[in-house]
Structure 1
Protein backbone atom coordinates (compact mmCIF):
# COMPACT_ATOMS: atom_id res chain seq x y z
CA UNK A 1 0.00 0.00 0.00
CA UNK A 2 1.38 3.42 -0.97
CA UNK A 3 0.46 6.30 1.32
CA UNK A 4 -0.07 9.92 0.39
CA UNK A 5 2.05 11.23 3.26
CA UNK A 6 5.20 9.17 3.68
CA UNK A 7 7.61 9.87 6.52
CA UNK A 8 11.34 9.96 5.93
CA UNK A 9 13.48 7.95 8.35
CA UNK A 10 15.38 9.16 11.38
CA UNK A 11 18.81 7.51 11.24
CA UNK A 12 20.82 7.39 14.47
CA UNK A 13 24.59 7.25 14.09
CA UNK A 14 27.49 7.36 16.52
CA UNK A 15 30.25 5.28 18.02
CA UNK A 16 29.44 2.07 19.88
CA UNK A 17 28.93 2.46 23.67
CA UNK A 18 28.11 6.15 23.26
CA UNK A 19 24.45 6.39 24.25
CA UNK A 20 22.78 5.35 21.00
CA UNK A 21 20.80 2.62 22.79
CA UNK A 22 19.68 4.96 25.57
CA UNK A 23 18.54 7.55 23.06
CA UNK A 24 16.72 4.98 20.93
CA UNK A 25 14.77 3.57 23.88
CA UNK A 26 13.65 7.03 24.92
CA UNK A 27 12.62 8.08 21.43
CA UNK A 28 10.63 4.87 21.11
CA UNK A 29 8.75 5.76 24.27
CA UNK A 30 8.04 9.15 22.70
CA UNK A 31 6.52 7.68 19.55
CA UNK A 32 9.38 7.01 17.12
CA UNK A 33 9.00 3.53 15.62
CA UNK A 34 12.44 1.86 15.63
CA UNK A 35 11.58 -1.66 14.56
CA UNK A 36 9.76 -4.76 15.76
CA UNK A 37 12.61 -7.24 16.20
CA UNK A 38 15.68 -5.77 17.88
CA UNK A 39 18.79 -7.22 19.46
CA UNK A 40 20.04 -6.47 22.98
CA UNK A 41 21.48 -3.07 22.04
CA UNK A 42 18.15 -1.99 20.55
CA UNK A 43 19.32 -2.31 16.96
CA UNK A 44 16.67 -3.38 14.45
CA UNK A 45 17.86 -6.75 13.17
CA UNK A 46 16.77 -6.05 9.59
CA UNK A 47 18.98 -2.98 9.23
CA UNK A 48 21.76 -4.39 11.41
CA UNK A 49 22.12 -7.40 9.11
CA UNK A 50 22.18 -5.19 6.02
CA UNK A 51 24.82 -2.94 7.56
CA UNK A 52 26.93 -5.94 8.53
CA UNK A 53 26.57 -7.27 5.00
CA UNK A 54 27.70 -3.95 3.51
CA UNK A 55 30.79 -3.90 5.72
CA UNK A 56 31.65 -7.52 4.93
CA UNK A 57 31.38 -6.92 1.18
CA UNK A 58 34.15 -4.37 1.49
CA UNK A 59 36.33 -6.54 3.73
CA UNK A 60 35.45 -4.54 6.83
CA UNK A 61 33.66 -4.96 10.14
CA UNK A 62 32.19 -2.75 12.86
CA UNK A 63 35.65 -2.40 14.46
CA UNK A 64 37.42 -2.07 11.10
CA UNK A 65 34.99 0.04 9.06
CA UNK A 66 37.30 2.08 6.84
CA UNK A 67 37.37 -0.45 3.92
CA UNK A 68 33.77 0.47 3.09
CA UNK A 69 35.23 3.56 1.42
CA UNK A 70 36.31 1.25 -1.43
CA UNK A 71 32.69 0.20 -1.92
CA UNK A 72 31.40 3.76 -1.78
CA UNK A 73 33.94 4.90 -4.36
CA UNK A 74 32.95 2.17 -6.84
CA UNK A 75 29.91 3.58 -8.61
CA UNK A 76 28.93 0.31 -10.29
CA UNK A 77 29.06 -1.78 -7.11
CA UNK A 78 27.43 0.99 -5.08
CA UNK A 79 24.49 1.10 -7.50
CA UNK A 80 24.07 -2.68 -7.24
CA UNK A 81 24.18 -2.53 -3.44
CA UNK A 82 21.55 0.19 -3.40
CA UNK A 83 19.31 -1.77 -5.78
CA UNK A 84 19.65 -4.90 -3.64
CA UNK A 85 18.75 -3.07 -0.43
CA UNK A 86 15.79 -1.36 -2.07
CA UNK A 87 14.61 -4.78 -3.24
CA UNK A 88 15.10 -6.38 0.19
CA UNK A 89 13.01 -3.64 1.77
CA UNK A 90 10.06 -4.85 -0.32
CA UNK A 91 10.41 -8.55 0.48
CA UNK A 92 8.81 -10.44 3.40
CA UNK A 93 12.18 -10.28 5.18
CA UNK A 94 11.26 -6.75 6.20
CA UNK A 95 8.61 -8.25 8.51
CA UNK A 96 11.34 -8.44 11.15
CA UNK A 97 11.41 -4.64 11.12
CA UNK A 98 7.75 -3.82 10.44
CA UNK A 99 6.02 -6.68 12.20
CA UNK A 100 3.18 -8.47 10.43
CA UNK A 101 0.59 -5.78 11.06
CA UNK A 102 2.62 -2.96 9.54
CA UNK A 103 3.92 -5.23 6.78
CA UNK A 104 0.40 -6.10 5.62
CA UNK A 105 -0.56 -2.43 5.70
CA UNK A 106 2.57 -0.74 4.31
CA UNK A 107 4.62 -3.52 2.64
CA UNK A 108 7.84 -1.51 2.93
CA UNK A 109 9.26 1.01 5.44
CA UNK A 110 9.35 3.61 2.66
CA UNK A 111 5.53 3.71 2.77
CA UNK A 112 5.28 4.40 6.50
CA UNK A 113 3.20 7.43 7.44
CA UNK A 114 4.34 7.38 11.08
CA UNK A 115 7.63 8.62 12.55
CA UNK A 116 10.18 5.84 12.01
CA UNK A 117 13.86 5.11 11.82
CA UNK A 118 16.58 2.84 13.10
CA UNK A 119 19.68 2.92 15.22
CA UNK A 120 22.98 1.22 14.48
CA UNK A 121 26.48 2.56 15.11
CA UNK A 122 27.44 1.00 11.76
CA UNK A 123 25.18 3.62 10.15
CA UNK A 124 28.10 5.98 10.76
CA UNK A 125 29.92 4.35 7.86
CA UNK A 126 27.07 2.99 5.76
CA UNK A 127 25.11 6.27 5.84
CA UNK A 128 25.97 7.26 2.24
CA UNK A 129 24.17 4.14 0.99
CA UNK A 130 21.09 4.94 3.09
CA UNK A 131 21.13 8.53 1.84
CA UNK A 132 21.18 7.19 -1.71
CA UNK A 133 17.84 5.59 -0.83
CA UNK A 134 16.50 8.37 1.42
CA UNK A 135 18.23 11.62 0.37
CA UNK A 136 16.22 13.76 2.79
CA UNK A 137 16.48 11.46 5.81
CA UNK A 138 17.23 13.11 9.15
CA UNK A 139 20.33 12.07 11.06
CA UNK A 140 21.08 12.20 14.79
CA UNK A 141 24.67 11.81 15.95
CA UNK A 142 25.28 11.19 19.65
CA UNK A 143 28.84 11.07 20.96
CA UNK A 144 30.52 10.37 24.31
CA UNK A 145 33.93 10.89 25.92
CA UNK A 146 36.42 8.58 24.21
CA UNK A 147 38.01 7.26 27.40
CA UNK A 148 34.66 6.08 28.73
CA UNK A 149 33.89 4.52 25.35
CA UNK A 150 37.25 2.75 25.13
CA UNK A 151 36.89 1.41 28.66
CA UNK A 152 33.35 0.16 28.02
CA UNK A 153 34.55 -1.63 24.88
CA UNK A 154 37.49 -3.13 26.77
CA UNK A 155 35.30 -4.41 29.61
CA UNK A 156 32.88 -5.98 27.13
CA UNK A 157 35.69 -7.58 25.12
CA UNK A 158 37.24 -9.03 28.28
CA UNK A 159 33.92 -10.55 29.39
CA UNK A 160 33.39 -12.11 25.97
CA UNK A 161 36.93 -13.53 26.04
CA UNK A 162 36.39 -15.14 29.46
CA UNK A 163 33.08 -16.66 28.35
CA UNK A 164 34.51 -17.82 25.02
CA UNK A 165 37.44 -19.51 26.72
CA UNK A 166 35.14 -21.38 29.11
CA UNK A 167 32.91 -22.48 26.22
CA UNK A 168 35.95 -23.57 24.21
CA UNK A 169 37.24 -25.77 27.02
CA UNK A 170 33.82 -27.38 27.48
CA UNK A 171 33.46 -28.13 23.77
CA UNK A 172 37.06 -28.94 22.92
CA UNK A 173 36.42 -32.61 22.12
CA UNK A 174 33.59 -31.60 19.79
CA UNK A 175 36.07 -29.76 17.54
CA UNK A 176 37.59 -33.15 16.68
CA UNK A 177 34.63 -33.69 14.34
CA UNK A 178 33.33 -30.15 13.86
CA UNK A 179 35.92 -27.35 13.63
CA UNK A 180 35.33 -24.14 15.52
CA UNK A 181 33.76 -21.43 13.34
CA UNK A 182 33.85 -18.34 15.52
CA UNK A 183 36.70 -16.59 17.27
CA UNK A 184 37.51 -16.07 20.93
CA UNK A 185 36.69 -12.40 21.28
CA UNK A 186 34.27 -9.85 19.88
CA UNK A 187 37.04 -7.48 18.84
CA UNK A 188 40.80 -7.86 19.09
CA UNK A 189 41.16 -4.14 18.42
CA UNK A 190 39.04 -3.15 21.40
CA UNK A 191 40.55 -5.51 23.95
CA UNK A 192 42.82 -2.65 25.04
CA UNK A 193 42.18 1.04 25.67
CA UNK A 194 44.35 2.38 22.85
CA UNK A 195 42.58 0.24 20.25
CA UNK A 196 39.12 1.24 21.40
CA UNK A 197 40.11 4.89 21.59
CA UNK A 198 41.51 4.90 18.06
CA UNK A 199 38.24 3.39 16.83
CA UNK A 200 36.37 6.15 18.66
CA UNK A 201 38.36 8.83 16.84
CA UNK A 202 37.65 7.13 13.50
CA UNK A 203 33.91 7.02 14.16
CA UNK A 204 33.74 10.61 15.39
CA UNK A 205 35.60 11.98 12.37
CA UNK A 206 33.25 10.10 10.05
CA UNK A 207 30.08 11.09 11.91
CA UNK A 208 31.00 14.75 12.23
CA UNK A 209 31.82 14.87 8.53
CA UNK A 210 28.27 13.66 7.81
CA UNK A 211 26.75 16.20 10.19
CA UNK A 212 28.61 19.08 8.54
CA UNK A 213 27.58 18.03 5.05
CA UNK A 214 23.90 17.45 5.90
CA UNK A 215 23.23 20.91 7.33
CA UNK A 216 19.74 21.24 8.82
CA UNK A 217 19.01 17.54 8.22
CA UNK A 218 21.41 16.50 10.99
CA UNK A 219 21.93 17.30 14.65
CA UNK A 220 24.67 16.37 17.09
CA UNK A 221 24.15 15.53 20.75
CA UNK A 222 26.90 15.33 23.36
CA UNK A 223 26.17 12.40 25.69
CA UNK A 224 27.35 14.24 28.79
CA UNK A 225 25.21 17.30 27.99
CA UNK A 226 22.24 15.02 27.44
CA UNK A 227 22.70 13.48 30.90
CA UNK A 228 23.07 16.90 32.51
CA UNK A 229 19.76 18.18 31.08
CA UNK A 230 17.81 15.30 29.50
CA UNK A 231 14.52 17.18 29.36
CA UNK A 232 15.86 20.06 27.26
CA UNK A 233 17.82 17.65 25.07
CA UNK A 234 14.84 15.38 24.46
CA UNK A 235 12.57 18.31 23.70
CA UNK A 236 15.08 19.54 21.11
CA UNK A 237 15.40 16.08 19.56
CA UNK A 238 11.61 15.58 19.46
CA UNK A 239 11.22 18.85 17.58
CA UNK A 240 13.89 17.75 15.10
CA UNK A 241 12.11 14.39 14.62
CA UNK A 242 8.72 16.10 14.34
CA UNK A 243 7.32 14.12 17.26
CA UNK A 244 4.24 15.80 18.67
CA UNK A 245 4.63 15.02 22.37
CA UNK A 246 3.46 17.08 25.33
CA UNK A 247 5.98 18.32 27.87
CA UNK A 248 4.74 16.10 30.68
CA UNK A 249 5.52 12.91 28.78
CA UNK A 250 8.97 14.24 27.86
CA UNK A 251 9.60 14.98 31.55
CA UNK A 252 8.53 11.47 32.53
CA UNK A 253 10.84 9.84 30.00
CA UNK A 254 13.78 12.14 30.73
CA UNK A 255 13.43 11.35 34.43
CA UNK A 256 14.74 7.84 33.77
CA UNK A 257 18.21 9.08 32.81
CA UNK A 258 21.10 7.97 35.04
CA UNK A 259 23.10 11.17 35.27
CA UNK A 260 26.01 9.56 37.13
CA UNK A 261 27.27 7.83 33.99
CA UNK A 262 28.90 10.98 32.63
CA UNK A 263 32.71 11.04 32.74
CA UNK A 264 32.85 7.73 34.61
CA UNK A 265 36.58 7.45 33.89
CA UNK A 266 37.30 10.13 36.51
CA UNK A 267 36.59 7.58 39.26
CA UNK A 268 39.44 5.29 38.18
CA UNK A 269 43.10 6.37 38.44
CA UNK A 270 44.26 4.14 35.57
CA UNK A 271 41.67 5.71 33.27
CA UNK A 272 42.64 9.20 34.38
CA UNK A 273 46.22 8.36 33.44
CA UNK A 274 45.11 7.17 30.01
CA UNK A 275 42.98 10.31 29.56
CA UNK A 276 46.05 12.44 30.22
CA UNK A 277 47.98 10.48 27.59
CA UNK A 278 45.33 11.14 24.92
CA UNK A 279 44.39 14.65 26.06
CA UNK A 280 45.34 16.27 22.74
CA UNK A 281 43.09 13.92 20.78
CA UNK A 282 40.23 14.35 23.25
CA UNK A 283 40.52 18.11 22.84
CA UNK A 284 39.97 17.79 19.08
CA UNK A 285 36.43 16.60 19.84
CA UNK A 286 35.59 19.05 22.60
CA UNK A 287 36.80 17.08 25.63
Structure 2
Protein backbone atom coordinates (compact mmCIF):
# COMPACT_ATOMS: atom_id res chain seq x y z
CA UNK A 1 0.00 0.00 0.00
CA UNK A 2 0.94 3.67 -0.05
CA UNK A 3 3.44 3.98 2.77
CA UNK A 4 3.78 7.74 2.32
CA UNK A 5 7.40 7.33 1.30
CA UNK A 6 8.94 9.04 -1.72
CA UNK A 7 6.39 11.02 -3.70
CA UNK A 8 5.50 9.34 -7.00
CA UNK A 9 2.96 11.26 -9.10
CA UNK A 10 0.80 9.14 -11.40
CA UNK A 11 -1.48 10.18 -14.24
CA UNK A 12 -4.12 7.66 -15.34
CA UNK A 13 -5.26 8.51 -18.83
CA UNK A 14 -6.09 7.26 -22.32
CA UNK A 15 -9.04 7.81 -24.62
CA UNK A 16 -12.49 8.29 -23.07
CA UNK A 17 -14.52 5.06 -22.63
CA UNK A 18 -11.30 3.03 -22.48
CA UNK A 19 -11.39 1.78 -18.90
CA UNK A 20 -9.63 4.69 -17.21
CA UNK A 21 -12.24 4.77 -14.43
CA UNK A 22 -11.78 1.07 -13.70
CA UNK A 23 -8.00 1.44 -13.68
CA UNK A 24 -8.21 4.42 -11.34
CA UNK A 25 -10.56 2.60 -8.98
CA UNK A 26 -8.27 -0.43 -8.81
CA UNK A 27 -5.19 1.69 -8.16
CA UNK A 28 -7.01 3.73 -5.53
CA UNK A 29 -7.98 0.55 -3.68
CA UNK A 30 -4.34 -0.53 -3.78
CA UNK A 31 -3.08 2.67 -2.19
CA UNK A 32 -2.73 5.35 -4.88
CA UNK A 33 -4.04 8.58 -3.36
CA UNK A 34 -6.41 10.45 -5.70
CA UNK A 35 -7.22 13.39 -3.44
CA UNK A 36 -9.97 14.23 -1.01
CA UNK A 37 -13.15 12.30 -1.75
CA UNK A 38 -15.09 15.58 -1.73
CA UNK A 39 -13.16 16.57 -4.86
CA UNK A 40 -13.95 13.39 -6.79
CA UNK A 41 -16.87 13.41 -9.20
CA UNK A 42 -19.79 11.36 -7.94
CA UNK A 43 -20.99 8.24 -9.73
CA UNK A 44 -23.56 8.67 -12.49
CA UNK A 45 -25.54 6.63 -15.02
CA UNK A 46 -22.55 6.43 -17.38
CA UNK A 47 -20.24 5.28 -14.57
CA UNK A 48 -22.23 3.72 -11.71
CA UNK A 49 -19.02 2.79 -9.86
CA UNK A 50 -17.72 6.35 -10.04
CA UNK A 51 -15.55 8.39 -12.39
CA UNK A 52 -12.61 8.62 -9.97
CA UNK A 53 -11.79 12.01 -11.44
CA UNK A 54 -10.53 14.85 -9.28
CA UNK A 55 -12.58 17.87 -10.30
CA UNK A 56 -9.63 20.25 -9.90
CA UNK A 57 -7.48 18.47 -12.47
CA UNK A 58 -10.42 18.19 -14.87
CA UNK A 59 -11.10 21.92 -14.46
CA UNK A 60 -7.53 22.80 -15.42
CA UNK A 61 -7.62 20.57 -18.48
CA UNK A 62 -10.91 22.11 -19.56
CA UNK A 63 -9.46 25.59 -19.15
CA UNK A 64 -6.59 24.61 -21.44
CA UNK A 65 -9.11 23.54 -24.06
CA UNK A 66 -11.14 26.73 -23.69
CA UNK A 67 -8.02 28.89 -23.97
CA UNK A 68 -7.32 27.23 -27.32
CA UNK A 69 -10.93 27.16 -28.56
CA UNK A 70 -11.39 23.43 -28.25
CA UNK A 71 -12.87 20.75 -26.05
CA UNK A 72 -12.46 17.10 -25.12
CA UNK A 73 -14.35 16.16 -28.29
CA UNK A 74 -12.71 18.86 -30.42
CA UNK A 75 -8.98 18.60 -29.67
CA UNK A 76 -7.49 22.05 -30.17
CA UNK A 77 -4.39 22.65 -32.23
CA UNK A 78 -1.52 23.06 -29.77
CA UNK A 79 1.79 24.32 -31.11
CA UNK A 80 5.06 23.12 -29.65
CA UNK A 81 5.73 24.90 -26.37
CA UNK A 82 2.09 25.94 -25.94
CA UNK A 83 2.28 25.27 -22.20
CA UNK A 84 4.75 28.15 -21.80
CA UNK A 85 2.71 30.74 -23.69
CA UNK A 86 1.58 33.96 -22.01
CA UNK A 87 -2.09 33.00 -21.99
CA UNK A 88 -1.23 29.76 -20.24
CA UNK A 89 0.62 31.49 -17.36
CA UNK A 90 -2.35 31.73 -14.94
CA UNK A 91 -3.53 28.20 -15.74
CA UNK A 92 -0.04 26.78 -15.30
CA UNK A 93 0.35 28.62 -12.00
CA UNK A 94 -2.90 27.11 -10.75
CA UNK A 95 -1.81 23.66 -11.86
CA UNK A 96 1.51 24.11 -10.07
CA UNK A 97 -0.27 25.05 -6.86
CA UNK A 98 -2.59 22.05 -7.23
CA UNK A 99 0.22 19.51 -7.52
CA UNK A 100 2.01 21.17 -4.60
CA UNK A 101 -0.94 20.22 -2.40
CA UNK A 102 -0.08 16.56 -2.93
CA UNK A 103 3.49 16.83 -1.65
CA UNK A 104 4.10 14.25 1.03
CA UNK A 105 1.27 12.00 -0.21
CA UNK A 106 3.54 9.17 -1.36
CA UNK A 107 2.13 7.56 -4.49
CA UNK A 108 -0.59 9.93 -5.63
CA UNK A 109 -2.28 10.81 -8.87
CA UNK A 110 -5.29 11.74 -10.89
CA UNK A 111 -7.38 10.20 -13.62
CA UNK A 112 -8.54 12.21 -16.61
CA UNK A 113 -8.65 11.16 -20.28
CA UNK A 114 -8.24 14.85 -21.19
CA UNK A 115 -4.68 14.66 -19.93
CA UNK A 116 -3.89 12.70 -23.10
CA UNK A 117 -4.08 16.05 -24.89
CA UNK A 118 -2.57 18.28 -22.20
CA UNK A 119 0.33 16.01 -21.20
CA UNK A 120 3.10 18.54 -21.99
CA UNK A 121 1.75 20.82 -19.26
CA UNK A 122 1.81 18.11 -16.61
CA UNK A 123 5.22 16.80 -17.66
CA UNK A 124 6.64 20.30 -17.28
CA UNK A 125 5.36 20.40 -13.70
CA UNK A 126 6.06 16.75 -12.87
CA UNK A 127 8.96 15.49 -15.02
CA UNK A 128 9.27 12.39 -12.81
CA UNK A 129 5.59 11.52 -13.28
CA UNK A 130 4.55 8.01 -14.31
CA UNK A 131 1.64 7.54 -16.70
CA UNK A 132 -0.80 4.64 -16.87
CA UNK A 133 -2.42 4.46 -20.32
CA UNK A 134 -5.67 2.52 -20.41
CA UNK A 135 -6.16 0.92 -23.83
CA UNK A 136 -9.33 -0.40 -25.41
CA UNK A 137 -10.26 -1.52 -28.91
CA UNK A 138 -11.06 1.73 -30.78
CA UNK A 139 -14.24 0.32 -32.30
CA UNK A 140 -15.48 -0.63 -28.83
CA UNK A 141 -14.73 2.95 -27.77
CA UNK A 142 -16.56 4.39 -30.77
CA UNK A 143 -19.59 2.16 -30.13
CA UNK A 144 -19.68 3.30 -26.51
CA UNK A 145 -19.45 6.97 -27.48
CA UNK A 146 -22.22 6.52 -30.05
CA UNK A 147 -24.43 4.89 -27.44
CA UNK A 148 -23.93 7.80 -25.09
CA UNK A 149 -24.29 10.73 -27.44
CA UNK A 150 -25.28 9.67 -30.94
CA UNK A 151 -21.83 10.41 -32.37
CA UNK A 152 -20.83 8.60 -35.54
CA UNK A 153 -18.39 5.72 -35.62
CA UNK A 154 -16.09 7.82 -37.80
CA UNK A 155 -16.02 10.52 -35.12
CA UNK A 156 -15.17 8.08 -32.34
CA UNK A 157 -12.45 6.32 -34.32
CA UNK A 158 -10.82 9.61 -35.33
CA UNK A 159 -10.94 10.85 -31.75
CA UNK A 160 -9.38 7.62 -30.44
CA UNK A 161 -6.57 7.96 -32.97
CA UNK A 162 -5.87 11.60 -32.14
CA UNK A 163 -5.86 11.04 -28.38
CA UNK A 164 -3.52 8.06 -28.71
CA UNK A 165 -1.13 9.72 -31.15
CA UNK A 166 -0.80 12.90 -29.13
CA UNK A 167 -0.33 11.06 -25.87
CA UNK A 168 2.39 8.74 -27.12
CA UNK A 169 4.17 11.60 -28.89
CA UNK A 170 4.37 13.56 -25.64
CA UNK A 171 5.74 10.77 -23.44
CA UNK A 172 9.28 9.43 -23.01
CA UNK A 173 9.24 5.64 -23.38
CA UNK A 174 10.26 5.02 -19.77
CA UNK A 175 7.52 7.21 -18.30
CA UNK A 176 4.48 5.14 -19.18
CA UNK A 177 2.88 1.72 -19.14
CA UNK A 178 0.01 0.56 -21.37
CA UNK A 179 -2.64 -1.60 -19.73
CA UNK A 180 -5.37 -3.18 -21.84
CA UNK A 181 -8.94 -2.95 -20.57
CA UNK A 182 -9.60 -6.51 -21.72
CA UNK A 183 -6.79 -7.92 -19.58
CA UNK A 184 -8.80 -7.25 -16.42
CA UNK A 185 -11.47 -9.69 -17.57
CA UNK A 186 -9.01 -12.53 -18.16
CA UNK A 187 -6.06 -12.03 -15.79
CA UNK A 188 -7.13 -9.21 -13.46
CA UNK A 189 -4.76 -9.83 -10.58
CA UNK A 190 -1.71 -10.41 -12.78
CA UNK A 191 -2.44 -7.29 -14.81
CA UNK A 192 -2.98 -5.14 -11.75
CA UNK A 193 0.25 -6.46 -10.25
CA UNK A 194 2.11 -5.55 -13.46
CA UNK A 195 0.89 -1.95 -13.25
CA UNK A 196 1.56 -1.66 -9.52
CA UNK A 197 5.12 -2.94 -10.01
CA UNK A 198 5.71 -0.25 -12.63
CA UNK A 199 4.45 2.40 -10.21
CA UNK A 200 6.46 1.06 -7.31
CA UNK A 201 3.38 0.30 -5.22
CA UNK A 202 3.80 -2.62 -2.84
CA UNK A 203 0.44 -4.32 -2.38
CA UNK A 204 -0.23 -7.75 -0.92
CA UNK A 205 -1.93 -10.44 -2.95
CA UNK A 206 -4.86 -10.19 -0.56
CA UNK A 207 -5.24 -6.46 -1.17
CA UNK A 208 -5.05 -6.93 -4.94
CA UNK A 209 -7.68 -9.69 -4.79
CA UNK A 210 -9.95 -7.45 -2.72
CA UNK A 211 -9.50 -4.52 -5.11
CA UNK A 212 -10.39 -6.74 -8.05
CA UNK A 213 -13.42 -8.22 -6.30
CA UNK A 214 -14.93 -4.77 -5.66
CA UNK A 215 -14.41 -3.54 -9.23
CA UNK A 216 -15.07 -4.62 -12.81
CA UNK A 217 -18.45 -6.18 -12.17
CA UNK A 218 -20.43 -6.28 -15.39
CA UNK A 219 -18.58 -3.45 -17.10
CA UNK A 220 -17.86 -4.96 -20.51
CA UNK A 221 -20.49 -4.35 -23.16
CA UNK A 222 -18.80 -4.43 -26.57
CA UNK A 223 -16.21 -7.02 -27.60
CA UNK A 224 -14.67 -6.57 -31.04
CA UNK A 225 -12.00 -8.67 -32.76
CA UNK A 226 -8.88 -6.79 -33.80
CA UNK A 227 -9.22 -7.89 -37.43
CA UNK A 228 -12.54 -6.07 -37.64
CA UNK A 229 -10.57 -2.82 -37.48
CA UNK A 230 -8.46 -3.55 -40.53
CA UNK A 231 -11.09 -2.90 -43.19
CA UNK A 232 -13.18 -0.18 -41.54
CA UNK A 233 -13.68 2.39 -44.29
CA UNK A 234 -14.47 5.14 -41.79
CA UNK A 235 -11.30 4.59 -39.73
CA UNK A 236 -8.16 6.73 -40.04
CA UNK A 237 -5.57 4.75 -42.04
CA UNK A 238 -3.04 4.78 -39.21
CA UNK A 239 -5.48 3.59 -36.53
CA UNK A 240 -5.07 -0.17 -36.98
CA UNK A 241 -1.28 -0.21 -36.77
CA UNK A 242 -1.35 2.15 -33.80
CA UNK A 243 -3.73 -0.11 -31.90
CA UNK A 244 -1.68 -3.23 -32.67
CA UNK A 245 1.47 -1.45 -31.49
CA UNK A 246 -0.19 -0.43 -28.22
CA UNK A 247 -1.47 -3.98 -27.65
CA UNK A 248 2.11 -5.19 -27.94
CA UNK A 249 3.22 -2.59 -25.42
CA UNK A 250 0.44 -3.77 -23.12
CA UNK A 251 1.71 -7.36 -23.51
CA UNK A 252 -1.84 -8.49 -24.26
CA UNK A 253 -3.37 -10.12 -27.31
CA UNK A 254 -7.10 -9.35 -27.05
CA UNK A 255 -7.93 -12.04 -29.61
CA UNK A 256 -5.97 -14.75 -27.79
CA UNK A 257 -6.08 -13.82 -24.11
CA UNK A 258 -4.88 -16.02 -21.30
CA UNK A 259 -7.39 -18.70 -20.30
CA UNK A 260 -10.06 -17.60 -17.87
CA UNK A 261 -9.48 -18.97 -14.39
CA UNK A 262 -11.53 -19.18 -11.25
CA UNK A 263 -10.09 -15.84 -10.14
CA UNK A 264 -12.45 -14.09 -12.52
CA UNK A 265 -15.98 -13.50 -11.30
CA UNK A 266 -18.51 -15.48 -13.27
CA UNK A 267 -20.44 -13.22 -15.57
CA UNK A 268 -17.70 -10.60 -15.95
CA UNK A 269 -17.19 -11.58 -19.56
CA UNK A 270 -20.84 -11.48 -20.49
CA UNK A 271 -22.58 -8.61 -22.17
CA UNK A 272 -24.70 -6.73 -19.67
CA UNK A 273 -26.97 -3.74 -19.82
CA UNK A 274 -25.77 -0.31 -18.76
CA UNK A 275 -22.87 1.90 -19.68
CA UNK A 276 -19.27 0.68 -19.82
CA UNK A 277 -16.38 2.11 -17.93
CA UNK A 278 -14.90 5.39 -19.02
Structure 2 length as normaliser, TM-score? 0.72
> Residues 201 and 251 of structure 1: is their aligned pair in 2 closer, same or farther, counting only changes over 3 Å?
same
Residue 223 (structure 2) pairs with residue 264 (structure 1): yes
Q: Which residue of 2 aligns with 1:18?
A: 18
Question: Structure 1: how far apart are the matches of 2:123 and 2:174?
Answer: 15
Q: Which residue of 2 aligns with 1:203?
A: 163
Q: Which residue of 1 aligns with 2:197?
A: 239
What count of residue pairs does the alignment treat as equivalent? 227
Q: CA deviation at 1:114?
A: 2.5
Structure 1 gaps, min length 5: 91-107, 159-190, 267-271
Q: Which residue of 2 aligns with 1:109?
A: 101
SS at match of 2:31: coil
Question: Structure 1: how far apart are the matches of 2:66 and 2:198?
Answer: 33
SS at match of 1:42: coil
SS at match of 1:66: coil
Q: How does 1:123-134 map to 2 (within 5 A)?
A: 123-134=115-126
Question: Structure 2: how far apart are the matches of 1:48 and 1:273?
Answer: 31
Q: Retained in 2: the 8 A contact 1:154–1:192?
A: yes
Q: Which residue of 2 aligns with 1:54?
A: 64
Q: How does 1:22-41 map to 2 (within 5 A)?
A: 22-35=22-35, 36=37, 37-39=39-41, 40=43, 41=51
SS at match of 2:127: coil
SS at match of 2:107: coil
Q: CA deviation at 1:82?
A: 2.0
Within the candidate set 141, 144, 149, 1:152 is matched to 144
Aligned-residue Cα RMSD (Å) equals 2.8
Structure 1 length as normaliser, TM-score? 0.70
Within the candidate set 42, 50, 53, 1:43 is matched to 53
